[in-house]
């Protein structure tokens, strides 16, 4: 799939501590719900013992997101924290089990759903970071679904090839695929709309169709088969620019126009909407947030008081950046609305840096949006060749990516050159290589707040040294390849399993126990998820 800024990099708009847990699981749940036509009363969820989910699915919000998705909710739905109870109230029994399946990807979800009439379907999906997911198997058929099309599945026996020809001949669809498994056939139709009942009735006259399943898209930007983007790596982008020195945000707009079949005005307007959400969240965070199940309380309020009273060390705009980063992290931890940019764990560094700096410069929301778009293009390069998933890459994939993206965005705000934007991204990423993921008490708060502050501070420093034409030496694409190589050398204990680093300190374990006891007390013994 071709990466989109709004699908894969700046988004989703969501609630919850972790996009690779909450938002991705919610999307998986929505697709599973559609597979059952919205009717089911039993769900079995299985996680591989050696993956990251057995130890994180509850505390990092997979359950909350998955249950919300099974209920058909949106990723920013305010009812999400109550999704376990809502699912129970809907009469659905959930079992979550740890199994030995040897799944290759650490974030693999295996779902089996049944309805009272005995109909059963299975779905296997992986969460690939930043809220993105891929369904890789449905009912034993190997598939590849990213939630970017209207998907119509037609179950047939023996005449699948003929049906593929007939559907293709109808025109107006993007892809028609034949899947075969154990003597059964499925024809998958990817399009901008579902095959209508009338069309299916017509097809049935020539080919017996046993059943029809319709899975609605879960991504904001749809795909089309004929989509071509102008570049997918930093080097290709520089070649495409061919010395014109276009601003990075303009190249980002050009990319997203091609990817999403949008106009320039639509791309900018979408990002302005996101900027408005971010600004509201920051103000909400500073005003104060409440949530029981979290490690840190409201800290940004006091920071703001000292900042306003001139009682902090003089950090210039950096102090406002730190305030905004903290406020955004507090909103995330209180289940408020955030934007995964590029992930929920690292949701604060980029918007904190961009919005604080733009406000210092008295810039408009459109200027903020352009800087966010510039950062989005750096994220496109990362998501195309690698991942934002800490389970794969450690915190260098989250915080490192956020720092690189924010550095490029800040250069963009300062009207720096294209080469300076790219240099800032390269230098910021270089200094985040090897960063481990070790959330305290299995909550995405500590050391995540510090890592977001670090990423934003690093971004500001790297933007300034890039503006002064410091030499990054290593091109951005090579730094990205290095992050990938370093990730493959990191033990899984240091990649978001809560089994290493600060996660296993006595203090972390004690906090985790305390929070678990509190949650159990408020949840009661009838919790469907345990
Ligand atoms: S340590 Fe970094 S990667 Fe891990 S949960 Fe926190 S922000 Fe995400």
- Alpha-helical runs (H) found in 71-159: 83-89
Q: Which residues face 134 on adjacent strands? A: 126
Ligand 1 center from residue 263 Cα (angstroms): 35
Out of 333, 448, 500, 502, give the residue to mutate to test ligand 1, the one with the largest number of ligand atoms within 8 Å of its CB. 448
For ligand 1, say whether the CB of 395 is within 6 Å of any of its atoms: yes
**Residue 35: alpha-carbon gap to chain centroid:** 22
Chain segment 438-472, per-residue pLDDT in tens: 999 989 999 999 999 999 999 999 999 999 999 99
312, 319 Cβ separation under 8 angstroms: yes
Ligand 1 center from residue 391 Cα (angstroms): 9
For ligand 1, say whether the CB of 21 is within 6 Å of any of its atoms: no
296, 449 Cβ separation under 8 angstroms: yes
| Each residue's pLDDT expressed in tens, for the chain with a length of 530 residues | 899 999 999 999 999 888 888 999 999 999 999 999 999 999 999 999 999 899 889 888 899 999 999 999 999 999 999 999 999 999 999 999 999 999 999 999 999 999 999 999 999 999 988 899 999 999 999 999 999 999 999 999 888 999 999 999 999 999 999 999 998 999 999 999 999 999 999 999 999 999 999 999 999 999 998 899 999 999 999 999 999 999 999 999 999 999 999 999 999 999 999 999 999 999 999 999 988 889 999 999 999 999 999 999 999 999 999 999 999 999 999 989 999 999 999 999 999 999 999 999 999 999 999 999 999 999 999 999 999 999 999 999 999 999 999 999 999 999 999 999 999 999 999 999 999 999 999 899 999 999 999 999 999 999 999 999 999 999 999 999 999 999 999 999 999 999 999 999 999 999 999 999 987 887 544 333 33
Ligand 1 center from residue 44 Cα (angstroms): 28
Smallest CA separation from ligand 1 atom 1, residue: 437
Q: Which atom of ligand 1 is nearest to the CA of 452?
A: 7
pTM for the full model? 0.90
Ligand 1 center from residue 493 Cα (angstroms): 13
Q: How far, in Å, CA of 289 to CA of 80, rounded?
A: 17
Q: How far, in Å, CA of 134 to CA of 223, rounded?
A: 14
For ligand 1, say whether the CB of 448 is within 6 Å of any of its atoms: yes
Smallest CA separation from ligand 1 atom 5, residue: 444
Out of 129, 390, 447, give the residue to mutate to test ligand 1, the one with the largest number of ligand atoms within 8 Å of its CB. 390
Q: Which atom of ligand 1 is nearest to the CA of 390?
A: 3
Ligand 1 center from residue 278 Cα (angstroms): 20
Q: How far, in Å, CA of 10 to CA of 219, rounded?
A: 12
Question: What are phi and psi for residue 431, nearest 5 degrees?
Answer: -85, 5
For ligand 1, say whether the CB of 345 is within 6 Å of any of its atoms: yes
For ligand 1, say whether the CB of 347 is within 6 Å of any of its atoms: no
Ligand 1 center from residue 444 Cα (angstroms): 6
Mark 325-342 as b/e (b = at least 16 C-beta within 10 Å). Answer: bbbbbbbbbbbbbbbbbb
**Residue 303: alpha-carbon gap to chain centroid:** 29
Q: Which residues face 45 on adjacent strands? A: 96, 111
Q: Which atom of ligand 1 is nearest to the CA of 436?
A: 1
Ligand 1 center from residue 404 Cα (angstroms): 16
Q: Which atom of ligand 1 is nearest to the CA of 445?
A: 6
Ligand 1 center from residue 135 Cα (angstroms): 24
């Amino acid at each position: 799939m071709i990466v989109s800024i709004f699908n894969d990099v700046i988004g989703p708009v969501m609630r919850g501590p972790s996009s690779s847990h909450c938002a991705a699981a919610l999307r998986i749940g929505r697709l599973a719900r559609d597979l059952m036509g919205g009717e089911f009363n039993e769900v079995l969820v299985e996680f591989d013992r050696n993956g990251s989910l057995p130890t994180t699915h509850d505390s990092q919000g997979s359950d909350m997101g998955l249950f919300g998705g099974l209920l058909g909710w949106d990723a920013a739905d305010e009812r999400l924290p109550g999704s376990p109870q809502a699912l129970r109230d809907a009469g659905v029994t959930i079992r979550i089990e740890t199994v030995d399946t040897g799944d290759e990807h650490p974030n693999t979800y295996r779902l089996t759903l049944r309805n009272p009439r005995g109909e059963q379907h299975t779905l296997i999906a992986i969460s690939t970071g930043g809220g993105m997911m891929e369904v890789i198997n449905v009912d034993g058929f190997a598939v590849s679904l990213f939630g970017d099309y209207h998907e119509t599945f037609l179950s047939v026996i023996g005449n699948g090839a003929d049906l593929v020809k007939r559907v293709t001949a109808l025109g107006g669809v993007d892809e028609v695929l034949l899947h075969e498994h154990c003597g059964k056939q499925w024809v998958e139709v990817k399009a901008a709309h579902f095959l209508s009942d009338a069309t299916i009735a017509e097809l049935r006259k020539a080919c017996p169709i046993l059943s029809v399943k319709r899975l609605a898209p879960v991504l904001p930007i749809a795909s089309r088969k004929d989509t071509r983007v102008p570049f997918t790596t930093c080097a290709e982008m520089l070649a495409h620019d061919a010395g014109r020195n276009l601003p990075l945000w303009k190249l980002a707009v050009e990319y997203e126009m091609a990817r999403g079949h949008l106009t320039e005005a639509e791309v900018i307007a979408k990002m302005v909407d996101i900027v408005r959400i971010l600004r509201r969240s920051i103000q909400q965070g500073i005003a104060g947030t409440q949530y029981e199940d979290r490690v840190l309380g409201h800290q940004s309020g006091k920071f703001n008081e000292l900042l306003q009273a001139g009682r902090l060390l003089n950090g210039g705009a950096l102090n406002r950046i730190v305030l905004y980063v903290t406020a955004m992290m507090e909103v995330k931890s209180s289940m408020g609305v955030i934007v995964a940019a590029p992930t929920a764990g690292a949701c604060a560094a980029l918007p904190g840096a961009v919005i604080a700096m733009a406000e210092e410069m008295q810039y408009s929301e459109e200027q903020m949006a352009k800087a966010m778009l510039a950062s989005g293009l750096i994220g496109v390069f990362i998501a195309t060749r690698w991942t934002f998933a800490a389970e794969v890459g450690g915190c260098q994939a989250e915080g490192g990516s956020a720092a690189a993206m924010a550095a490029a965005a800040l250069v963009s705000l300062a009207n720096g050159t294209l080469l300076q934007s790219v240099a800032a991204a390269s230098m910021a990423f270089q200094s985040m290589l090897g960063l481990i993921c070790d959330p305290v008490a299995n909550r995405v708060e500590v050391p995540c707040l510090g890592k977001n502050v670090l990423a934003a501070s690093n971004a500001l420093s790297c933007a300034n040294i890039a503006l002064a034409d410091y030499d990054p030496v290593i091109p951005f694409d090579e730094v990205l390849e290095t992050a990938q190589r370093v990730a493959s050398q990191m033990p899984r204990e240091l990649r978001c399993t809560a089994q290493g680093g600060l996660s296993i300190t006595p203090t972390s374990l004690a906090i985790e126990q305390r929070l678990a006891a509190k949650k159990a007390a408020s949840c009661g013994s009838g919790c469907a998820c345990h």
